[in-house]
Amino acid sequence: MRLSTSARITSAIGLVIILGLIVIAVFADYLAPYDPVTGTLGDRLIPPFWQAGGSTAHLLGTDVLGRDTLSRLIYGARSSLTVAVVAILVAGSIGSLLGIAAGYLGGWVDALVMRAADLAFSFPTILLAMVLAVVFGASFFNIVVVISLVLWAEYARMARGESLKIKEMDYVALAQVAGCSKVSIMLRHILPNVASSLIVLATLQVGVVIILESSLSFLGVGLPPPTPTWGSMVAEGRSYVVSAWWLSLVPGAAILVTVLSFNLLGDTLTELINPERQS
């Protein structure tokens, strides 16, 4: 299938931005001009370099503790992408395997997995994160657990729907006649054929995870300070929206651009893999 010119352009822009973010996250130690968690009070609230009072020493200004905004933004990209990748790997692996088992085996397995998925969809994410933060303390592990508890059900439902169609295919019937075990059929014949749809879902959900992580960090139940995250940067700047607009606007713009880029890439992959879904 051929994409339209506009679709190719938008997907290329999204891909370039995503690759740039990955490079920034991986090489943050070398790209950040300053330590993101230490600052100088004498340099507090310096505006971006293009504003009066700004300095090229701090291109995007500094925060209330004199920490360099650009450095915190760079390390925030690492935090957000790391949470997104780990949470999606955990949720995607668990949800996909459960969904395939539900679709292929049917019966009580299907009923159990789907009721568990319904329960997962009913979880109030923010409340669950707050409870875990109070009981166990805010941590990387907790935020991954919370997000995974919410996301796995999406993969389970998609994998189940695809498995219901694939298990009726002739090559699955031939594998059964050849004496292949149920586990072998699910892993060797069904999983590879649902992988493309699951990859598209994962791409689209990167943006969802980044927004979730940012929301949790904004509320103080995400990654613990002084770890820089885009959500915590927005929260720290909310009291200075008028006098120091860059504190919230810069990380907010980073969240917007990142989520939009992953959504553009996900939409393009959807059109390539499932062209019948095009409007």
pLDDT digits (tens, 9 = 90+) for 2-27: 666 776 788 888 889 999 999 999 99
Q: Nearest CA to 261 among 77, 36, 27?
A: 77
pLDDT at position 279: 41
Residue with tokens 């905004």: 69
> Helix (H, G, I), strand (E, B), or coil: what is residue 203?
helix
pLDDT at position 277: 46
pLDDT at position 2: 63
Amino acid at 127: L
Amino acid at 90: V
List, in sequence order, the alpha helices (H) in the chain: 5-26, 28-31, 69-105, 107-121, 125-136, 140-166, 170-177, 182-185, 191-218, 230-236, 246-273
User: How big is the chain, counted in residues?
Assistant: 279
pLDDT digits (tens, 9 = 90+) for 166-210: 888 888 888 888 888 888 888 888 888 888 888 888 888 888 888
> Per-residue pLDDT averaged across 89-114, rounded?
92
CATH of the domain at 10: 1.10.3720.10
Give me the domain span that covers residue 225.
5-277
Residue 272's Cα: distance from chain center in Å? 22
pLDDT digits (tens, 9 = 90+) for 221-242: 778 878 888 888 888 888 888 8
Q: Nearest CA to 16 among 273, 264, 279, 278?
A: 264
> Per-residue pLDDT averaged across 55-62, rounded?
90
CA distances to 38, 85, 101, 187, 255 from 179, in Å? 63, 37, 18, 15, 51
Neighbours of 134 (CB within 10 A): 10
pLDDT at position 264: 85
> Per-residue pLDDT averaged across 47-60, rounded?
89
pLDDT digits (tens, 9 = 90+) for 108-162: 999 999 999 988 888 777 777 777 777 777 788 888 888 888 889 999 999 999 8
Domain count for the chain, please give it. Answer: 1
pLDDT at position 4: 67
Query: What is the percent of the chain with per-residue pLDDT over 70, rounded to a whole number?
Result: 96
pLDDT at position 218: 80
pLDDT at 278 over 60: no
Label residue 43 by pLDDT band (50, 70, 90).
confident
> Per-residue pLDDT averaged across 45-71, rounded?
90
pLDDT at 93 over 80: yes
pLDDT at position 1: 53
pLDDT at position 275: 52
pLDDT at position 106: 85
Q: Nearest CA to 267 among 17, 5, 4, 11?
A: 11
pLDDT at position 90: 94
